[in-house]
A = this chain, B = another copy of it.
Amino acid sequence: MNAYKKQMKVVMLFVVIVFFVQIALCQNFARKEVKIPDVLGYRVLKCDFHTHTVFSDGDVWPTLRAEEIWLEGLDAFALTDHIEYTPHKDDIMINYNRPYEIASPLAKARGITLIKGGEITRKMPPGHLNAIFLKDVSPLKTDKWEDAIQIAYNQGAFIFWNHPGWKAQQSDGIAKWNKEQEELLKKKCLNGMEVVNEKEYYPEVHKWCLEKNITMLGNSDIHDPANMAFDFAKGEHRPMTLVLAKENSEEAVKDALFNGRTVIYKDNLLIGKAEYLLPIFENSILIKNPEVVLKGKERVNVQIYNSSEINFELTLDKKPEDISAPEKITLYGDRTVMLGIRANVKETPEKKETPEKKDMTGKKDIDLNYKVKNLLIAPEEGLPITLKIKAEFEKKD
């Protein structure tokens, strides 16, 4: 045993010791949960299907991505380094499966589902596509992009179009539907599209997903450390895809993706089908005093607690008949707000207040119909919701 090897053995021993010292410190490493409720018997998994590491043009080692995902409250993610674009190749030996292999033990120890993927990085068309749930990424390095996609398809991958309106590939920032995409869709090789990528939202892609029944995705496409890209202290978060899955497993996520059970979460915005957004809203909201007494034209506050982390921005959709309610109100996340209502009474010349309509006495069910403008069921179209109240109308003493 030569001197250097002996030295190394000692170094390794240090490493073991350090590892255990760090474990003790690491107890303090805490995960912030994403506060969006489960719905419809599914778990609402928080996922990011588009991330990079030093193995392509990212700035971080693969394990760090798993650590970030856990700390930020996500449940599953895919490592999707560029296949054709590897600027660090003078220093890093290219092996497209390594990011997954390196991050896998940590992800498992954290209870995070890690999905193997790769980004097919071509000029437009077809642009950039992610293939995830791959068995082996290496064969996707081909001359022709058509071959790469076919190989991914053969491995059972879920394939989606990344940032279709990316300015580097669409100078006007608006995605174009080409015959190449049409072809891929027909061959079941275009299973999803990024309606949201990093800081961008593509309304035209949103529309296509609804029309063509393609799964909607929102991903970070992160290259830097997450807390450099997002200011968590200001409440920022990475864009993510909420996946309605039976459990947190690769199979359940895959099933949900192929069946379109996703909602996109970007800034203070949720994007998805009404059938998913409505129960998310309803499971978030608690009307604390749903039964109120309205005396004359006195204002009464309905107190509403929103247990989610989203500020729901409501706009009155249809004026209720018997009462006045605010045109706009924001139900702040993790806060209780007052929604002030009062009976529509008129003052007589004798200053006695009377209900505007004769039958406005006794108890009555009141529907407050609002649209939630930041729960998007289509471009610029907010989710319609109803707040239900029981009101008892009384004359003022």
Contacts and interface: CB of A to CB of B under 8 A. Distances in A.
A84 B123 contact: no
Chain copies in complex: 4
Interface stretch (A85-93, A249-257, A273-281): A85-93
A54 B61 CA distance: 7
A338 interface: yes
B328 A27 contact: yes
A168 B25 CA distance: 14
Interface string A272-301: 000000000000000011000000000111
Which of under 10, 10 to 19, 20 to 34, or 35 or more describes the interface residues of A? 35 or more
A181 interface: no
Nearest to A25: B199
A210 interface: no
A326 interface: yes
A8 B85 CA distance: 8
Contacts of A27: 326, 328-330, 337-340
Nearest to A18: B168
Contact of A64 (B32, B145, B224, B336): B224
Interface in A148-193: 167-169
Contacts of A328: 27
A192 to B, nearest CB: 22
A111 B303 CA distance: 9
A17 B335 contact: no
A227 interface: yes
B84 A95 contact: no
Given A169-B14, A225-B228, A84 B31 contact: no
A305 interface: yes
A299 B92 contact: no
A103 to B, nearest CB: 11
Contacts of A123: 7, 10-11, 13-14
8 contacts: A3-B143, A15-B85, A21-B167, A28-B337, A29-B338, A30-B332, A91-B102, A231-B233
